[in-house]
Amino acid sequence: MDDFLVRGTLAEVDPDVAELIRHEHARQLDKLIMIASESYVPAAVREAEGSVFQNIYAEGYPHADLHGLAEEQILDYASQLAFYRRNGDRRYYKGVEYCNLIEALAQRRAAEVFCPPGMSPEQIFVNVQALSGAVANTAIYEALVQPGDTVMTLDLLHGGHLSHGSPVNVTGHRQRIVHYRVNEETELLDYEEIYELAQREKPKMIIAGYTSYPWAPDFHKFRAIADSVGAYLLADIAHTAGMAAAGVYPNPVGIAHVTSFTTHKTMMGPRGAVIITTDPELAKRIDRAVFPGMQGGPHMNKIAGMAVMFKLAKTPQFKALQQQIAKNAVALSDGLKANGLRVVHGGTNTHMVLLDCKSIAQHNGVPLMGNVASRILDLMGIVCNRNTIPGDKDAGRPSALRFGTPWVTQRGLKEADMREIADVIALVLKTAKPHTIPTKKSVTYSARVDFDALMEGVARINALVAKAGRDFELPREGYPFVWYATNGHRAADRGRIEVCGAQAAAFLGVVLGADVGDLSDGAEVTVLGRNRAPLCAATLTRIHDGYALDVPADQAPRVTQWLRALSDGYVIFDDANVDVHIPGPVVVK
């Protein structure tokens, strides 16, 4: 039959996209991902997300009669379909009989996971349609407060979120935002200060829950403060929902008026968000604010993924994982402290650790800053993000790093491994010599580190990566998994290193200390090391897109790494002139 259905696997239909996905997958498995807001979503969840539920429009909500049903009742197809045929449903589109069941299943499982002692899942109202945490929070503002009302949230620079009323976010535009801050000395939430601020400012809503504050808030204290001024309490547990589900972090459901969370962080599910309340009237307002207030059709494939995620969240393995995530974060924090580094807010009882980079290294009065530190760790194989901390004045110039332990814990790493990660971070960042680079308007902060320390860091992180679990093996050939990897050098008399790209001649001009334009093929040259000391003898040959350096085979791996590191720009070439410009980038093969 002639049709226009596109059959075939991704590799057959679009090998380029398939290849790009393999590269991304390799990156995720060949580095240690320590982004606190990320996790490795199980294949079963991704399978549900890639399912034919993707094809469906289902504006509206499941029939109200599905609320409060147990799983077996929701999945009693004969009864549910008979009900649907006779009564229809609340949605605008037909063809949603299975959408209703998958959404009701996700809601029921969420209600069971977050049901506090003394309540039953029927008393929990769950919206699973918000497409992201920011959308969920914006809908909650719509449902709970009026334009011009005061909303009280933690300052973004101290650990709050964009959707907690940042001036650059829509949530900062319609309400009057008042920020509480951490105590200057302890760097901890100070409930007396928060109480006093609430008395003065009379907020209509208070938000507790954070993106870069590593301690669990006391939701009971927050509720008491909210009650004292007649405010709603919103618990935003976007980061910590998985830990709350597992009892490793306080569950605010039943304490806060409304709880929101994203489903792709410690929950390890699809990218999306959930809003929970125990108040049926608020539930109606929230549902209306999400749809039709903020969105049209829900992403039913993600809701299918959420149903799987909530099933996993009920397992003992999930609980054990969340417990280990918390233990690993404490071990990382203790390890950094043991190396003399300053852990911001004094430690952690969540999945997250903040490291003050300013305290690690200074050079000529220039401090190490978060952005360059995160770039250096990425080169080494640890992926994290720059982050503001108390004392920072500008969200664009953060002085800290934020680490999270969900992903590395999923891959089986434990406390001793966290100590090793802390030791390697300290080893490398302590060698940093920060410097500034002038820009049109001011300067950017950069830094260079010791090459040998960086390579030792690369080797030690590679060892942890080799130990860490992978969900499947990827073909190794052709993937530049580790940027400084030099495998492929076989025993030979000479090792050939190719330096290619538009900047190759200028790069070699500095690295060889000679103008390559003046050299003929076969010229004897010297690759310069730190402080321009001779590192290795080589012969130079022009090739079609650059130059080849033939060096003794046993020295080729190290020279390759050195040239790559110089091209990347974060290793010290000249101690007397740390910020010496080395042209690049070049491709070193």
Catalytic residue annotation: 57, 59, 236, 262, 265, 271
Judged by DSSP in three states, 199 sits in: helix
CB burial of 460-489 (b: ≥16 within 10 Å; e: otherwise) equals: bbbebbeebebeeeeeeeebebbbbbbeee
CB of 396 to ligand DSN, least distance (A): 15
Answer yes or no: are the C-beta atoms of 294 and 138 closer than 8 Å: yes
CA atoms within 13 A on the CB side of 510: 19
Q: Which is nearer to ligand DSN, 161 or 302 (CB)?
A: 161
Query: CA torsion, points 62, 67, 73, 74, in degrees to nearest 10?
Result: 30
Q: Which is nearer to ligand DSN, 385 or 560 (CB)?
A: 385
167 contacts: CB under 8 Å, gap ≥ 6: 173, 177
Binding ligand DSN (rule: CB under 6 A), the pick from 31, 32, 33, 37 is 37
Binding mask 357-396 for ligand DSN (x = CB under 6 A): ----------------------------------------
Radius of gyration of the chain measured on its C-alpha atoms: 27
The tokens describing 190, both together, are 């100070």
Q: Which residue has the tokens 């103008």?
A: 515
C-alpha span between 578 and 377 (Å, rounded): 19
Binding ligand DSN (rule: CB under 6 A), the pick from 153, 166, 211, 259 is 211
Q: Which is nearer to ligand DSN, 266 or 278 (CB)?
A: 266
Binding ligand DSN (rule: CB under 6 A), the pick from 133, 160, 434, 584 is 133
CB of 137 to ligand DSN, least distance (A): 10
Pair type for strands 382-383 and 32-33: parallel
Query: CA torsion, points 178, 184, 188, 189, in degrees to nearest 10?
Result: -30
Answer yes or no: are the C-beta atoms of 518 and 504 closer than 8 Å: no
Q: Which is nearer to ligand DSN, 209 or 381 (CB)?
A: 209
CB of 37 to ligand DSN, least distance (A): 3
CB of 64 to ligand DSN, least distance (A): 31
Q: Which is nearer to ligand DSN, 108 or 264 (CB)?
A: 264
CB of 249 to ligand DSN, least distance (A): 15
Q: Which is nearer to ligand DSN, 258 or 361 (CB)?
A: 258
The tokens describing 414, both together, are 């434990």
Q: Which is nearer to ligand DSN, 109 or 345 (CB)?
A: 345
Residue nearest to ligand DSN (CB): 37
Is residue 80 involved in binding ligand DSN (CB under 6 A)?
no
* Burial class of 347 by CB neighbour count within 10 A (0 to 12, 13 to 18, 19+): middle
C-alpha span between 182 and 194 (Å, rounded): 9
Q: How many amino acids of this chain bind ligand DSN (CB under 6 A)?
A: 4
Is residue 409 involved in binding ligand DSN (CB under 6 A)?
no
The DSSP line for 65-123 is GGTT--HHHHT-HHHHHHHHHHH--SSSSSS-HHHHHHHHHHHHHHHHHTPPTT--GGG
C-alpha span between 585 and 252 (Å, rounded): 50
CB of 129 to ligand DSN, least distance (A): 18
CB of 122 to ligand DSN, least distance (A): 31
Q: Which is nearer to ligand DSN, 158 or 161 (CB)?
A: 161
Answer yes or no: are the C-beta atoms of 240 and 216 closer than 8 Å: yes
CB of 510 to ligand DSN, least distance (A): 38
Answer yes or no: are the C-beta atoms of 526 and 513 closer than 8 Å: yes
Query: CA torsion, points 87, 91, 93, 99, in degrees to nearest 10?
Result: -90
- Give the binding site for ligand DSN (CB under 6 A): 37, 133, 161, 211
